[in-house]
Structure 1
């Protein structure tokens, strides 16, 4: 916007906002609060959230609070004003305000009179002596109603993955943001996908098998950022599972000794290997039956429940650490006559 930029300064409780007004005289030795970084405006459903990093250490002692300002950009243009006219929206006390994940949060109900307006927002730190610091970067919002949320959200688990699908709001041209949480934590401020999705489908990898994840999806209107988000879809939960079995053991050998049969095989290379299972069958048995288990790093098994002169057929499988262990196909079979 052309014209002069009005500095927003507080001195002894006075707000200076007129075009061309000189800022108060400030001692060159006075250290004013620095500009707030990471200022964000997040709009969801019928609420708007203003958030920025909470002060810490030395800054916590220096800052008495923050003033949140807004400017009606369209109104100023219609008046032909070349100035920046910011209005006081709220004062945020860092001591009494909500702090989540190290960020101050101010939540307000959306006023219907905002619809169709173009507002610019910024936040200014205020020192304990009443001096205002530098202004944050501005966040500009073209206000419009939030879209309806997605419906029929489903989640299918995979090996360290979750695949989501949902139905789009009828008659709406929207994109989507996906949110994930685990445990008892609330959904974070920011979505999993940095770029809004154009289709009602999302697959996330790199998850931890056996951990419960909760997902919700929100529609967003065409403008932004800041995005105008819908309320959340109904939440769904998913537990990624390792469904890939280890390779079959190789190098199986059987050696008969007095009253026992000793089995040996080569070590599997899988990083999530838990151990091996040993199966045995006699000529009279239709199917092999489980007779023992060997935990890693073992690669040998002794069968002491044999009868002399009986021919035994052995095979070995490998299994992993999944909550419901994946078991490999049997190794090649080896046959031996017990002594």
Structure 2
């Protein structure tokens, strides 16, 4: 047989209902009951930390110790908060009224989608516990802020190929798909082991390049590097070799 559910913990509480009153004084049907336990709210989490990746901000914290009155494990809500320039008291008062997470969290961590480079994001966390069948939310934790930066390079270009023509070597490669792509730098060296040097001073948006500075009979090595608008450079594409005519 399935285990019986634990009975509600008996704690002091107040029960509220609401009735609407018509203009003539007639009372409507009562609302559902709202049970408010008369207990201290749970303590806030501690040691909030933040980090970021290319698409999201991660928030982590240390849970408080559950009180003896808590039937279920503690859960958590994460809220947006004003930036670090706001005084602490003002920041706590201006915490967003709705949590970022759609339902209270079991884990002491949350990933918030959206990591706009250079835009400060701040967060607080509230502890949520169940007491006497009702949900009680504690005061906000200390604020934790992070300003994501674009430190993530584009992917290395793919499928570079080289074809020699009269007085030139023609290069072509697949386009990168990054939204913040600035362009490509073409690298060239003499085969087999010369150090590759850039042929273009500024990134080109084109995925074709015609190298007309070759010497007939010489064999060249090429690679392509992608660059984004923040200046992050990808790893070099696989190298290709071609002899000039």
Deviation at 1:276, TM superposition (A): 2.2
With over 3 angstroms needed to count, the CA separation of the structure-2 counterparts of 1:232 and 1:158, relative to structure 1, is: same
Per-residue CA deviation, residues 18-50 of structure 1 (Å, 9 max, x unaligned), is xxxxxxxxxxxxxxxxxxxxxxxxxxxxxxxxx
Summarize the alignment of residues 75-94 of structure 1 with structure 2, pairs less than 5 Å apart. none
Aligned with residue 49 of structure 2, among 147, 154, 157: 154
- Contact kept, 8 Å, 2:76 with 2:128, in 1: the verdict is yes
1:236 lines up with 2:136 in the alignment: no
With over 3 angstroms needed to count, the CA separation of the structure-2 counterparts of 1:268 and 1:136, relative to structure 1, is: farther
With over 3 angstroms needed to count, the CA separation of the structure-2 counterparts of 1:242 and 1:266, relative to structure 1, is: same
Show structure 2 runs of 5+ residues with no match: 1-10, 68-72
CA distance in 2, matches of 1:251, 1:285: 19
Deviation at 1:257, TM superposition (A): 4.3
1:194 lines up with 2:90 in the alignment: no
CA distance in 2, matches of 1:233, 1:333: 55
Residue in 2 that maps onto 1:282? 190
* 191-200 vs 237-246, which moves further: 237-246
CA distance in 2, matches of 1:304, 1:125: 88
Per-residue CA deviation, residues 271-311 of structure 1 (Å, 9 max, x unaligned), is 5372322111135974212222221xx21123455556654
- Contact kept, 8 Å, 1:118 with 1:143, in 2: the verdict is yes
Per-residue CA deviation, residues 152-176 of structure 1 (Å, 9 max, x unaligned), is 1112212312222211224656321
- Contact kept, 8 Å, 1:262 with 1:302, in 2: the verdict is yes
**Superposition CA RMSD, Å:** 4.1
CA distance in 2, matches of 1:188, 1:280: 54
- Structure number with higher relative contact order (C-alpha < 8 Å, ≥ 6 residues apart): 2
With over 3 angstroms needed to count, the CA separation of the structure-2 counterparts of 1:277 and 1:313, relative to structure 1, is: same
- Contact kept, 8 Å, 1:140 with 1:226, in 2: the verdict is no
Show structure 1 runs of 5+ residues with no match: 1-114
Deviation at 1:314, TM superposition (A): 1.3
CA distance in 2, matches of 1:150, 1:328: 41
- Report which of the two structures shows the higher radius of gyration computed on alpha carbons: 1
Matched residue SS, 1:277: strand
Summarize the alignment of residues 110-121 of structure 1 with structure 2, pairs less than 5 Å apart. 116-120=12-16
With over 3 angstroms needed to count, the CA separation of the structure-2 counterparts of 1:208 and 1:231, relative to structure 1, is: closer
Higher strand share: 1
Deviation at 1:145, TM superposition (A): 1.1
Aligned with residue 335 of structure 1, among 217, 239, 242: 242
With over 3 angstroms needed to count, the CA separation of the structure-2 counterparts of 1:244 and 1:306, relative to structure 1, is: closer
Matched residue SS, 1:294: coil
Aligned with residue 216 of structure 1, among 112, 119, 124: 124
Matched residue SS, 1:222: strand
Residue in 2 that maps onto 1:140? 35
Residue in 2 that maps onto 1:175? 75
Any runs of at least 4 consecutive aligned residues in structure 1 with deviations exceeding 6 A, and if so which?
123-127, 130-137, 182-185
- Contact kept, 8 Å, 1:249 with 1:318, in 2: the verdict is no
